[in-house]
Amino acid sequence: MPELPEVETVRRQLAPVLEGRRFESVEIADGRLTRPLDPVGVARELEGERVREVGRRGKYLVVRFESGRALLVHLRMTGSLRHARAGTLPDDPYRRAVVKLDDGSDVAYRDVRRFGTWELLEPEELRPYFERRLGPEPLGTLSARRLAERLAGRRAPLKAALLDQRTLAGMGNIYADEALWDARLHPLRPAGSLSSDEVARLHRAVRRALRRGIARQGATLSDYRTADGSRGSMQDEFRAYGREGEPCDRCGTPIAKTRVAGRGTWYCPSCQQLDRAEAPVGTGSSGSDASPP
């Protein structure tokens, strides 16, 4: 599933080919993409819009138009975007939408499992939309102190807190496991139990994991492709994610697998220890924060 590094990779490839271009014609073949809005209506609204900037917020690709409106694309599980010069778009049974640009090239949206979304927002809707859903950008000006504030008082397992997009925008299962391994923190530690040294380690590790992912153009496990159709290579360098039974790169102990917040979670049982007294109630079964009475 695409996380921040994968979406950022797509953004970097699409920005130079989209910026300044006009959406000449738009076809949206799948009503799930724009639900509850009619896909034909959304496609008509998009036609004629000229792209000012291709940005990213968390895992959302944000296509800002000169009109001030913005198209928010979320790839969810299996979505991908592909840019192709005029007439070179290969056939694809999983294609859900195509945007033809005013230079004749195409941007095609593919989605096998059809969980992705396209939302067209009016200028005044953009800020409240993200404020409700997303915490700070981990690669922006985020400080360790700000991260500590996001975790303070939370009893949810650390891994669940990292997956919560309101803690940090753009984290997902892969980079959460990689960051926790790097920071030597157990995924079930209560999020609010970290010392300031541990938060500082986590802060560095999160940013390092995401930067590594971007440098390798993301991780291709199944469906993810970059905007020119190639694969990322981060999957060749995982330290924890998906490595059950393989030796830890740091200490040689076999990597273990558990479930946290309903997600497969990989960690080193030697480097990432959980003090028994710290184990949260209902260990691993819930991703929600318990609020005090």
Specify whether 3 is catalytic: yes
Considering beta carbons, is residue 22 or 250 the nearer one to Zn ion?
Answer: 250
Active site residue 257: no
* CB of 253 vs Zn ion, minimal distance in Å: 5
3-state secondary structure at position 190: strand
159 in catalytic set: no
Residue 101 pairs in a beta bridge with 23
CB of 268 vs Zn ion, minimal distance in Å: 3
Report the residue closest to Zn ion, judged by CB: 248
169/255 with CB nearer Zn ion: 255
Q: Which is nearer to Zn ion, 89 or 256 (CB)?
A: 256
d(CA 73, CA 92): 19
Which one, 151 or 240, has the nearer CB to Zn ion? Answer: 240
Binding site residues, Zn ion, CB under 5 A:
248, 250-251, 253, 268, 270-271
Nearest approach in angstroms of CB 244 to Zn ion is 13
Task: Between 160 and 271, name the residue whose CB sits nearer to Zn ion.
Answer: 271
Least distance (Å) from Zn ion to the CB of residue 291? 34
Least distance from Zn ion to the Cβ atom of residue 267, Å? 9
Instruction: Considering the candidates 3, 6, 8, 49, report the single residue annotated as catalytic.
Output: 3
Q: Rounded to whole angstroms, what are the CA distances from 264 to 6, 35, 210?
A: 20, 29, 19
Catalytic residue among 59, 154, 159, 189: 59
Look up 59 and say whether it is catalytic.
yes
Rounded to whole angstroms, the Cα distance separating 187 from 59 reads 22
> Which residues, in sequence order, are CB contacts of 289 under 8 Å at separation 6+?
154, 155, 156, 161, 164, 191
Is-contact 216 237, C-beta < 8 A? Answer: yes
What is the Cα–Cα distance from 125 to 254, expressed in whole angstroms?
48
Residue-by-residue DSSP string for 263-286? EEEEE-TTTS---GGGPPTTTTT-
Contacts of 248 (CB under 8 A, 6+ apart): 181, 239, 254, 255, 268, 270, 271
Q: What angle separates helix 196-215 from helix 4-18, to the nearest 10 degrees? A: 40
Find residue 67's DSSP bridge partners.
none
Q: Which residues are catalytic?
A: 2-3, 59, 263
